[in-house]
Amino acid sequence: MGHYGEERVVSFEFTVNGERVVVEATGTRRLLDVLREDLNLTGTKEGCGEGECGACSVLIDGALVDACLVPVSQVTGASVQTVEGEAQDGRLSILQQAFLETGGAQCGICTPGMLIAGRAFLSSGTEPTDHNIREAIAGNLCRCTGYTKIIDAIALAAQRSAHQ
């Protein structure tokens, strides 16, 4: 790194799952590392480090992004949502419960990212057809399920949410 010059460590302020955080980091530190190592939110996973697998999916101001591709300097003042914010008051969300019941989680390593992608989909209000759900999770790779039960889970959650 020497000949590029040393990066300065500075403060970045944003919210994570509704809580205000201040982290001291270099501006290019990946949001993924800030979440996992600085804030001890290890629910967000690293699968490839290059934006292919979606295991590190988070919402930034509601937008679905790969945290491995986002430098922390870009989230100043933003609202970041991770899997740790999905359950409320110690209860699984409708989406989590649907994953549990349909078998949408197997090894579980893609699950946090799938939940976040599913959350973004549910928030979008898009009609929960098979194709629309497939589109919504196309950036999230799963090697265990063949996706069928993940799609079932999101469809079930959409159905239950609509009845609330």
Residue with Cβ nearer other proteins (11 or 164): 164
Q: For residue 73, what are its two tokens?
A: 């300097």
Number of residues located near other proteins, criterion CB under 8 A: 67
Torsion sign across C-alpha atoms 104, 92, 57, 61: positive
Give the sheet arrangement for strand 19-26, strand by strand.
Answer: 19-26, 9-16, 79-81, 57-60, 63-66
Residue 91 dihedral angles phi and psi, to the nearest 5°: -115, 140
Residue with Cβ nearer other proteins (77 or 89): 89
Question: How many Cα atoms within 13 Å fall on the side-chain side of residue 125?
Answer: 0
Taking CB under 8 A as the criterion, the residue among 100, 123, 124, 129 binding other proteins is 100
11 touches other proteins by CB under 8 A: no
26 touches other proteins by CB under 8 A: no
Amino acid letter for position 143: R
Residue with Cβ nearer other proteins (6 or 77): 6
| DSSP state at residue 64 | E
123 touches other proteins by CB under 8 A: no
CA distance 60 to 73: 13
> Among 45, 38, 39, 49, which residue's Cα sits nearest to residue 17?
39
140 touches other proteins by CB under 8 A: yes
Contact window for other proteins (CB under 8 A) among 8-16, 57-65, 73-81, 135-143: 135-143
Taking CB under 8 A as the criterion, the residue among 72, 78, 110, 122 binding other proteins is 110
Amino acid letter for position 130: D
Contact window for other proteins (CB under 8 A) among 8-16, 37-45, 71-79, 118-126: 37-45
Task: Using CB under 8 A, list all residues that contact other proteins.
Answer: 1, 36, 40-50, 52-53, 55, 82-84, 86-87, 90-94, 96-97, 99-103, 105-112, 115, 130, 133-135, 137-152, 156, 159-160, 163-164
